[in-house]
Structure 1
Amino acid sequence: MASRPGLRSIAAASTSASRTFAPRFVPPTSRSFASTHPASRPTTTTNDTSDRPTSFGFETVTESEKRERVAGVFSSVADSYDRMNDMMSLGVHRLWKDHYVSSLNPGYTPPGQAARPQHILDIAGGTGDIAFRHLHTAHVLNRNPDVRVTISDINPDMLEVGKKRSSILPASQQAALSFLQANAEDLTGKVADNSMDLYTVAFGIRNFSNMPAALQEAHRVLKPGGVFACLEFSKVGNALLDSVYKRWSFGAIPMIGHLVAGDRDSYQYLVESIENFPSQEDFRQLILDAGFGVAGQGYEDLTGGIAAIHRGIKPLA
């Protein structure tokens, strides 16, 4: 990946009671978080949608069938998932994740202010890759031990991997970590309204059956001024790079999955799900439709657009 862009503070209008999370990254063309969100949020809910069509890779299936099949995929790859990510991305996913968390800067306290408690919800974060980075940045780099992280995942096998991996964390970070098995499309009864300072999801949202419903839930659970941040594979802008990337994705990754994990079909699905994910502009619009505001273009491309970081902020009023 190219050298990391500089990180700067976001100046956001907020009160001490309404905002406890302060990200550092602003795209070069950014402005203050805009109120360019709809006056009213969509009324779509997760009720009675089990038979609604959605995509599973290149197939069209019902939402309930996709949830079942995605569960099967991630139960199958749980133990080898991080190793496979290294092989699929040649290790670059680690740089993307480092930059993603660094740019969000959890636990940051402005000079002259007292550190405030923060609660981060890491969705589809079963193996702990992002959550552990949040805790290290907040507790160690920013010296704010009052930052807690809840790892939420719909898949118990992925959560089990995260629980095992968390045993090597310092005791203070283990105490600040909790695990929640839940469907991100409906967190009712599990995550309260206006309770989270930061909602993160990395390489997971493309597997959801109903992305608009998940984005609405993100909006619901965040405090006013809270930040939604998504790291996901995206669309490559350069034609030559895109050609090379697609050849690698469709030619090599399923074969590696077969040879290393004994599971070609799951990795074939993962490649197809990346291809089906909305473009940067289309996903930005979904974020706006959910009621968030965005700064500038609302996203940052990584490695030519192979991946992208999207951000939205819940308006203060």
Structure 2
Amino acid sequence: MRESQVTDQSPGSTGNGAETAHPQDPRRIRAMFDVVAPRYDLLNDLMSGGIHRLWKRRLRRLAGRPRGRGLALDLAGGTGDIGNALAASGWAVVVCDPSEGMMSKGRNRRAGPRLRWVCGDGETLPFADGTFDLVTIGFGLRNIQDRQRALAEMARVLAPGGLMLCLEFSQPAPLIAPAYGLWQEHGIPRLGAAVSGQPDAYRYLVRSIQAFPDQKTLADWMRQAGFTDVFYRNQFFGIAAIHGGRRPAATP
């Protein structure tokens, strides 16, 4: 597997253009995740061949170990796999997700003094300004209707100098795009239907991946939201990417 790294700090590229409207009502998305929660982690493993775990380990390594307070927010944290990994690295983690079904599944599997669970929406986070030293979001940004507003909210709740990391599906390199497109159109919905019994949920998954902006567009959105030192690292030829940026440090 090859990983590529790009540091993109100059605005100008808009990738695939303006943000595409979210294809479904947020309440329907939340209800969908409540339904698929019992087999969500299993299907992630089957559909990615387990490779999503490698990408999440890379995100955790980029987060590093905490200094000072060490308070982290894992937004759209679902069943808490990223939050649990951060907690094992010493972070005190708040897992925040709009789906009670996903968080209930996570609470039953992952309990500990360093994990707290809060139901919340990424567009209107229920936290004060500057609360967290780290904000992560893994495969959740594309499920938020107003993604640019969510990025601004992440910047707001970060302490000055704090780090935001986003792992999300992205636009793959031309070399693998045709084969990946076939897997999206035919493999993912059939596998999702067979294992979960919810074919519509996995057709939505494919649409949400296809509608998500490319790497440079997301980097531009992050800068517009107030992040500095913006970068991204492609995973497996750009099928996914880890984006990162910091809230500017307070001036003396």
The one-letter code sitting in structure 1 at the alignment partner of 2:234 is D
Q: Distance in 2 between matches of 1:289 and 1:240?
A: 31
1:76 is aligned to 35
1:27-106 matched pairs, under 5 angstroms: 27=5, 30=7, 54-56=21-23, 66-106=25-65
Where 2:123 maps in the other structure, the secondary structure is coil
1:20-31 matched pairs, under 5 angstroms: 27=5, 30=7
Residues 222 and 245 of structure 2 are in contact (CA less than 8 Å); yes or no, is this contact kept in structure 1? yes
Tell me the alpha carbon deviations over residues 12-61 of structure 1, each in whole angstroms, 9 at most, x when there is no partner.
xxxxxxxxxxxxxxx5x659xx7x79xxxxxxxxxxxxxxx9221xxxx5
Structure 1 residue 183 and structure 2 residue 121: aligned? yes
Q: Distance in 1 between matches of 2:171 and 2:78?
A: 25
Structure 1 residue 316 and structure 2 residue 249: aligned? yes
Q: Distance in 1 between matches of 2:7 and 2:213?
A: 22
The structure number with the bigger radius of gyration is 1
Structure 1 residue 223: deviation in Å? Answer: 0.5
Which of 144, 156, 159 is residue 100 of structure 2 equivalent to? 156
1:274 is aligned to 209
Where 2:73 maps in the other structure, the secondary structure is strand
Structure 1 residue 166: deviation in Å? Answer: 1.1
Structure 1 residue 127 and structure 2 residue 79: aligned? yes
When normalised by structure 2's length, the TM-score is 0.91
Where 2:176 maps in the other structure, the secondary structure is helix
1:307 is aligned to 240
Residues 294 and 313 of structure 1 are in contact (CA less than 8 Å); yes or no, is this contact kept in structure 2? yes
The one-letter code sitting in structure 1 at the alignment partner of 2:81 is D
Residues 102 and 137 of structure 1 are in contact (CA less than 8 Å); yes or no, is this contact kept in structure 2? no
Where 1:300 maps in the other structure, the secondary structure is strand
Structure 1 residue 116 and structure 2 residue 68: aligned? yes
Q: Distance in 2 between matches of 1:240 and 1:312?
A: 28
Higher deviation after alignment, 128-137 or 200-209? 128-137
Identity of aligned residues (%): 36
Structure 1 residue 137 and structure 2 residue 89: aligned? yes
Q: Distance in 2 between matches of 1:176 and 1:97?
A: 19
The one-letter code sitting in structure 2 at the alignment partner of 1:253 is I
* Count, aligned residues: 242
Q: Which runs of 5+ in 1 are unaligned?
A: 6-26, 38-52, 108-114, 139-146, 168-173
Which of 187, 193, 207 is residue 258 of structure 1 equivalent to? 193
Structure 1 residue 230 and structure 2 residue 170: aligned? no
Where 1:235 maps in the other structure, the secondary structure is coil
Structure 1 residue 312: deviation in Å? Answer: 1.1
Structure 1 residue 149: deviation in Å? Answer: 0.3
1:15 is aligned to none
Structure 1 residue 294: deviation in Å? Answer: 2.3
Residues 222 and 314 of structure 1 are in contact (CA less than 8 Å); yes or no, is this contact kept in structure 2? yes
Structure 1 residue 106: deviation in Å? Answer: 3.0
Tell me the alpha carbon deviations over residues 114-168 of structure 1, each in whole angstroms, 9 at most, x when there is no partner.
x522100000002011011101123xxxxxxxx310000011001101101114x
Residues 233 and 241 of structure 2 are in contact (CA less than 8 Å); yes or no, is this contact kept in structure 1? yes
Q: Which runs of 5+ in 2 are unaligned?
A: 12-19
Which of 138, 141, 146 is residue 210 of structure 1 equivalent to? 146
Where 1:179 maps in the other structure, the secondary structure is strand
How much is the aligned-residue C-alpha RMSD, in angstroms? 1.9
Structure 1 residue 197 and structure 2 residue 133: aligned? yes
